[in-house]
Amino acid sequence: MVSAIKIKDVQVSYHGRSAIEAIDLTLEQGKVLGIIGPNGAGKSTLLKAILNLVSIDKGVIEIFGEALKENRKRIAYVPQRNQYDWDFPIHVLDAVLIGTYPILGIFKRPKKKDKEWAYECLKKVRMEEFAHRQIGELSGGQQQRVFLARALAQKADIFFLDEPFVGIDATSEEMIVKLLKDLRDQGKTVVVVHHDLSKANEYFDELLLLNKQVIEYGSPQQVLIPEVMRKAYESELSFLYEVGVN
């Protein structure tokens, strides 16, 4: 089976300063990958590079063995929650319905069966009773669930989520983790940019520890060991140490 994502020697820079460099990664299908690392390690940049939202200076990125543009409709992306204008005049169900747009293509409008499918996806995140609320009326966790529902509506094969657990309640977090694992069990691939290390070993099959470069890539057992983590978090730890001393 072809790898879900294959990255070779990728470098991205902003205004001449490199954000990530020499990135190599091969992710097989049917895995949940967590991308972890300190602030400014380039986690979101890597995600954006894979999604072609930033241009890469060099290297190769393949999705299912091809360039991204051949496989755009097999990708679902859930951006960070702060990306949205939560006052936008849109109801929850309509926001989920947007997930059907990529498959519909230009000119075609969502029909009844698309609306039913969107509602179906909303049920999977147990948000159906909020279907006709404006999106800003929801709590952070509920908003995140709605955007996961939208990703589900896309019927994608790879799911990218950028910091989905930031500022959400425990119930929502649990539900999202379970849904992501269900997707994996159906053979889908899930990539999550993750901030909090405490539950990383429960949530992910594989971890990519990043600090501008790949520090370590492997199973949680391989990555979540003090010697390895220290390499990525050294600067932050020494900073904390200094603060502690003073």
> Rounded CA gap, 176 and 192, in Å?
11
Question: Of the two residues 46 and 214, which places its CB atom closer to another protein in the complex?
Answer: 46
Q: Which of 37, 38, 79, 141 binds another protein (CB under 8 A)?
A: 79
Answer yes or no whether residue 83 interacts with another protein by CB under 8 A. Answer: yes
Answer yes or no whether residue 17 interacts with another protein by CB under 8 A. Answer: no
Neighbours of 104 (CB within 10 A): 13
Q: Which of 88, 81, 82 is nearest to 135 (CA)?
A: 88
Q: Given the rule CB under 8 A, which of 22-30, 37-45, 82-90, 175-183 is the region that contacts another protein?
A: 82-90
The token duo for 41 is 């390690």
Q: Is 59 helix (H, G, I), strand (E, B) or coil?
A: strand
Q: Given the rule CB under 8 A, which of 2-10, 30-38, 94-102, 219-227 is the region that contacts another protein?
A: 94-102
Question: Of the two residues 30 and 110, which places its CB atom closer to another protein in the complex?
Answer: 110
Q: How far is the CB of 77 from another protein (least distance, A)?
A: 5
Answer yes or no whether residue 227 interacts with another protein by CB under 8 A. Answer: no
Q: Which helix (H) or strand (E) holds 29?
A: none
Question: Of the two residues 83 and 221, which places its CB atom closer to another protein in the complex?
Answer: 83
- Binding map of another protein across residues 129-168, x = CB under 8 A, - = no contact: -----x-------------------x--------------
- For the CA atoms of the chain, what is the radius of gyration? 19
Q: Given the rule CB under 8 A, which of 32-40, 106-114, 183-191, 228-236 is the region that contacts another protein?
A: 106-114
Answer yes or no whether residue 90 interacts with another protein by CB under 8 A. Answer: yes
Q: Buried (b) or exposed (e) across 155-187, using 16+ Cβ within 10 A? A: bbbbbbbbbbbeebeeebbebbbebbeebbeee
Question: Of the two residues 149 and 229, which places its CB atom closer to another protein in the complex?
Answer: 149
Pairing relation of β-strands 158-162 and 75-78? parallel
> Rounded CA gap, 183 and 189, in Å?
7
Q: Mark out the alpha helices in 164-225 (DSSP H runs).
A: 170-185, 200-203, 220-223
Interacting residues toward another protein by CB under 8 A: 51-53, 69, 72-73, 75, 77, 79, 83-85, 88-91, 94-95, 98, 101-102, 104, 106-107, 109-110, 134, 154
